[in-house]
Structure 1
Amino acid sequence: MARPRPGQLPTLDRRSVLKVLLAGAGIAAVPGLAACGSGSSGAESKTVTFGSNYSDPVPRNALKAVLDGFKTDGLTVTANTKDHNTFQQQINNYLQGHPDDVYSWFAGYRMRYFASKGLALDISDTWTSLGDSFSAAQKEASTGSDGKQYFVPFYSYPWALFYSKSTWAKYGYQPPKTFDELITLGNKMKADGLTALAVGQADGWPQLGTFDQLNLRTNGYDFHMSLMAGKEDWKGAKVKAVFDNWKRMLPLYQDNALGRKWEDAAQGVLAGKAGMMVIGSQQIGQQFAQKLDDLDFCAFPTIDPQWGTDTVEAPIDGFMMSKKAVNVDGGKKLLTYLASAPAQLTYLKSDPTSIAASSKVDEGTYNALQKKCVQFVSEAKHITQFLDRDTDPGFASDAMTNGINKFLGDPNSVDSVLSGLAEQAKSIFTG
């Protein structure tokens, strides 16, 4: 997978995964993902069934260790683990059939989608006791369009401007606070013989994150989320301004970005040949696995002072309850446990590049990168989930990916790109 899960080496192109997600929104029956005991009579009071997409060995074993620690009221958990991509492909039919009580999923649009379809259980009462464990931004990301909570955060990882401490120390670079400072810094890097911005767009998804950063800093959180929901004009002046700012960055880009894997781009940062990279801690952290103490980051800098850097992109993985849950009381107790610091720390033993969602975690257990990530995320006024989690999967995988790639290949094609995005957004969101 191009954007790997904890402990997993990349095996599948992310764009293929987005296609899988799009297929999951269909209504054709897809056999294979069935609940594990959710319909059994007599056993439901002491058994909570759990649908899991943590299928690769490292995350699967880590999650097993978490579930083994659930010792509440004599309840036991029966896990129904399916291949990560198969799970996502079949989840729509799964939730309409005989789903497990609790299942793994994602915050943001993907959570709101199933909540709006009446396939997720309102767990606002559970949030009454969990509220002080999460920030207002995390609660916002767990809230459906109706203002109710449907999701419990488990772990996350931020997107930012990442770099090698030793490289920056060698040349005396300082984190840019404004977009103008970023451009100046990039030109200084080029003068020093470095690639300023490492870029690998061969898999199609990484530059979706750069669009997010630019739009959030140019137009703010509310506009960004409204645009992702298909409620804004892609041909309007605000979106055009995003691409105008992006054009200023392109001279700093690594050559042949469209033909390079993100892993290779990140290796350039590791080797001190590239100065910085817009990426997530989980991705670049894997490339720095043997030199994690040399990895550092700063917020993507301010473009418009009225928005500053108040929004952080930090995809949140976590759990939901199905509307058809059999053991509702037990499921909510399991969610309460999964929201706890001990449960989340048990899982993160497998992943030193992500952070627990709970604010109750003892930061003394974290490495330096994780400690900085915690502060970065906790100070955010808003948290976004990454473009392919904040909008329709089909729009992300086709319209946005193709449009951005066309723009990168020909920066003068902006008007054509935006016209195409506007047309496809109209078709997807109002068709």
Structure 2
Amino acid sequence: MSRRNLLRGAALGAGALTLPALLSACGDGPGGNKNEVTVGSNASDPVPKKAYAAAFSAYEKKSGKKVKVNTKDHNDFQENINRYLQGTPDDVFMWFAGYRMQYFAEKGLLHEISDVWSGFTGFSDALKEQSTHSGKQYFVPYYYYPWAVFHRKSLFQSKGYQQPKTWDDFIALAKRMSKDGTPVAFCDKDGWPAMGTFDYINMRLNGYDFHKSLMAGTESWTDTKVKNVFDTWREVMPYYQKGALGRTWEEAGQSLQQRKTGMAVFGMPHPGTQFPENERDDIDFFAFPEIDPQYAQDAVEAPIDGFLVAKKSKNLDGAKALLKWLGTPTAENTYLALDPNNVAVNDGADTTKYSALQKKSAQLVSGAKQISQFMDRDTRPDFASTVMIKAIQDFIGNPKDVDGLCNSIERQKKTIFSSPVG
């Protein structure tokens, strides 16, 4: 799940055209094998790996075609993605919606699949927008997962804690929790987990439109609105786990599971993969608290994962045929039967077997007025990787110098956004 290497890889220049053996795809010469479609997978964790295997196996039985999955370590896949797509990529590969997809489409490294989309049903206009660049579709969404404030249901019940709706109530709960232990699990060794908290505070304070414009580089980081985000964030920091910059997201999730901490701002799979199966029913969450009533809890952070076709695909027909199937409710049902840490994107998917957590997640997102993708997916990858990882880590290390921090971000932003993508 780490994004640090994802960001570094996505931000690399287009110079290196040779691909490390680590990510080399296995083809059958220039023409490839027309009875086989290859898939570059970053699903190296056991739960999604098993679920994808079931989905691809179902497609093989249906189509009579072979799906060869090249699974690589999640971090290594992300780190080498740019060179991978310029070298000898698989026909299809797993990646992300929104700016992450648009970045590679703009660089000409993806194959347009608008013809595949013409046959789809069950996808909302919002999903189509997240799959589109310059009026053309490049991405097939497969599932999403919301970010929220996660906790153990039993802990709240035993201590009499109430889920807060407002920021003041959230701080009051954290203060009360501090008498019983560490209120909030916190980590940023990986360089991305704390981005979710920034996103939510910004959207709750300043609204989704401002947040989107800030990520697009059209708002100034020296604006008082941005400084207020960091000032507000500082209010909860006394209640965080100490040593966040040396803690991975897995370790933070484990602290929640072990009852060493009470709450954590996470994406749904993060606590889900750190809890044993017999304890997952004890996971609960509440929407990130309201700060300014005019924006309430309207926006929800809900990253979308899915599939794309590499421009250098050797079996384009096979790739498109696989994507046509992956965009069906049947394909999503097959996957989610083995991975309860995500939510289907197709309206036709079967939700009758959803866990309580999945049902609540689906309700949270369906009721949102706006959906964001996460900072490292909503802005330029080079800005996220070279500026924001360090900036947020600097803030965590020294949360008092907000003016200096915002001035530094703005200077670097102007340089990066004035240069062409890639």
Global fold match (TM > 0.5): yes
List aligned pairs for 1:98-247, cutoff 5 A.
99-132=89-122, 134-144=123-133, 146-190=134-178, 192-247=179-234
1:257 and 1:108 mapped to 2: Cα distance? 29
1:361 and 1:36 mapped to 2: Cα distance? 33
Which residue in the other structure is 2:329 paired with? 341
Cα 1:233–1:356 shift into 2, 3 Å: same
CA contact (8 A) 1:38 1:100 kept: no
Aligned residue for 2:191, secondary structure, equals coil
- Percent identity between matched residues is 51
Q: Which structure 2 residue ranges, 5 or more long, are not aligned?
A: none
Which residue in the other structure is 2:7 paired with? 18
Q: CA offset at residue 373 of structure 1?
A: 1.6
- Higher mean Cα deviation, 107-116 or 91-100? 91-100
Q: CA offset at residue 56 of structure 1?
A: 5.5
- TM-score relative to the length of structure 2: 0.88
1:85 and 1:183 mapped to 2: Cα distance? 34
Which residue in the other structure is 1:62 paired with? 51
Which residue in the other structure is 2:82 paired with? 92
Cα 1:84–1:195 shift into 2, 3 Å: closer
1:112 and 1:217 mapped to 2: Cα distance? 26
1:319 and 1:95 mapped to 2: Cα distance? 14
CA RMSD, 1 decimal: 2.7
Which residue in the other structure is 1:9 paired with? none
Which residue in the other structure is 2:264 paired with? 277
Q: Which amino acid aligns with 1:26?
A: A
- Higher mean Cα deviation, 150-159 or 353-362? 353-362
Which residue in the other structure is 2:18 paired with? 30
Which residue in the other structure is 1:406 paired with? 394
List aligned pairs for 1:327-406, cutoff 5 A.
327-406=315-394
1:327 and 1:209 mapped to 2: Cα distance? 38
- Higher mean Cα deviation, 52-61 or 163-172? 52-61
Q: Which amino acid aligns with 1:286?
A: T
Q: CA offset at residue 338 of structure 1?
A: 0.8
CA contact (8 A) 1:198 1:274 kept: yes
Cα 1:334–1:262 shift into 2, 3 Å: closer
2:28 and 2:379 mapped to 1: Cα distance? 31
- Higher mean Cα deviation, 256-265 or 148-157? 256-265
Which residue in the other structure is 1:255 paired with? 242
Aligned residue for 2:280, secondary structure, equals helix
Q: CA offset at residue 330 of structure 1?
A: 3.7
1:119 and 1:264 mapped to 2: Cα distance? 36
Q: Which amino acid aligns with 1:110?
A: R
Q: Which structure 1 residue ranges, 5 or more long, are not aligned?
A: 5-13
Aligned length in residues: 415
CA contact (8 A) 2:253 2:271 kept: yes
1:124 and 1:222 mapped to 2: Cα distance? 28
Q: CA offset at residue 109 of structure 1?
A: 1.5
